[in-house]
């Protein structure tokens, strides 16, 4: 039934290549099937003005698509002179999701920026970005702990982003582009290892769903998250 032939609760292949670039403190190219996102973690001394002097750190995210990551070329946001509402929404989601597991006191007065640049898009770029950003963050924090800059691990859990949706009436896991552009409803879930939920964003443009539908999407999301947690652990070992 799915254009890709996958079962409803089947994720695409998760591919992870750590150390994809060499300057960043953490770097990974993560793939959910044909969706490929380069996630880097950059550690900088200092924090934004409103946090100064509190002894806390900050974690933030940025997101962009290369112009030809998509089927047809999109104009460069730098050329247009502003970031779209969609880009800003995703950036805010990435930052919030990762902060959900970081103890900013333990991080100390430093900022970690998670840059998520989509190299190739086939649906689910924001959830791949969140899942990859956790790996880049984990690698960067490992480095800070190895060098003695941080004493106590500030990361309390793993973070996985995963999309689910209702496609031709059936709840399915990890939508690709063909499914995403035709789904009746569509949800992005940010789940933590240990079972907690950091974020649910479930939308139904044109159609709608009910409580039972929401719960079925959430259960599918847990299946995907477990796959992602395992792949993350494997990558950062």
Cα dihedral value 41, 45, 50, 54, nearest 10: 110
Q: Supply the minimum distance, in Å, between the C-beta of residue 113 and a second copy.
A: 6
* Nearer CB in complex with a second copy: 156/230: 156
Residues near 224 by beta carbon (within 8 Å), at least 6 away in sequence: 11, 160, 162, 164, 173, 174
125 annotated as belonging to a binding site for a ligand: yes
Per DSSP, the residues of 49-73 read GGGTTSS--EEEEEEEE-TTSSSS-
124 annotated as belonging to a binding site for a ligand: yes
* Nearer CB in complex with a second copy: 17/234: 17
Other Cβ atoms less than 10 A from the Cβ of 125: the count is 27
76 annotated as belonging to a binding site for a ligand: no
Residue 46 CA: distances (Å) to CA of 59, 149, 150, 157: 12, 14, 14, 24
* Nearer CB in complex with a second copy: 14/104: 104
The residues of the shown chain that bind a second copy, judged by CB under 8 A, are 21-24, 27, 34, 36, 38, 40, 42, 44, 62, 64, 66-73, 76-89, 91-92, 96, 99-100, 113, 115, 117, 119-121, 187, 192, 195-211, 213-215, 218
Q: Supply the minimum distance, in Å, between the C-beta of residue 218 and a second copy.
A: 6
* Nearer CB in complex with a second copy: 67/108: 67
Positive or negative, the CA dihedral 133, 199, 155, 220 is negative
Q: Supply the minimum distance, in Å, between the C-beta of residue 3 and a second copy.
A: 16
Binding residues for phosphate: 86, 124-126
């Amino acid at each position: 039934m799915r254009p890709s032939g996958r079962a409803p609760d089947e994720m695409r292949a998760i591919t992870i290549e750590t150390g994809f670039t060499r300057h960043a403190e953490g770097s990974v190219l993560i793939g959910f099937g044909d969706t490929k996102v380069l996630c880097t973690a950059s550690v900088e001394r200092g924090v934004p003005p409103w946090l100064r002097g509190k002894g806390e750190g900050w974690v933030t995210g940025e997101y962009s698509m290369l112009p030809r990551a998509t089927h047809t070329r999109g104009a460069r946001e730098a050329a247009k002179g502003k970031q779209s509402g969609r880009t800003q929404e995703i950036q805010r989601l990435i930052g919030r999701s990762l902060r959900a597991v970081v103890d900013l006191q333990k991080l100390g007065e430093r900022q970690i920026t998670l840059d998520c640049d989509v190299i190739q898009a086939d649906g689910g770029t924001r959830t791949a970005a969140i899942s990859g950003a956790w790996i880049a963050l984990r690698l960067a924090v490992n480095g800070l702990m190895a060098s003695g800059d941080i004493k106590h691990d500030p990361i309390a859990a793993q973070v996985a982003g995963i999309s689910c949706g209702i496609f031709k009436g059936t709840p399915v896991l990890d939508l690709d582009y063909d499914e995403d552009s035709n789904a009746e409803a569509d949800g992005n879930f940010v789940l933590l290892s240990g079972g907690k939920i950091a974020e649910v964003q479930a939308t139904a443009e044109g159609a709608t769903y009910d409580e039972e539908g929401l719960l079925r999407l959430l259960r599918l999301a847990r299946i995907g998250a477990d796959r992602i947690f395992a792949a993350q652990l494997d990558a950062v070992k």
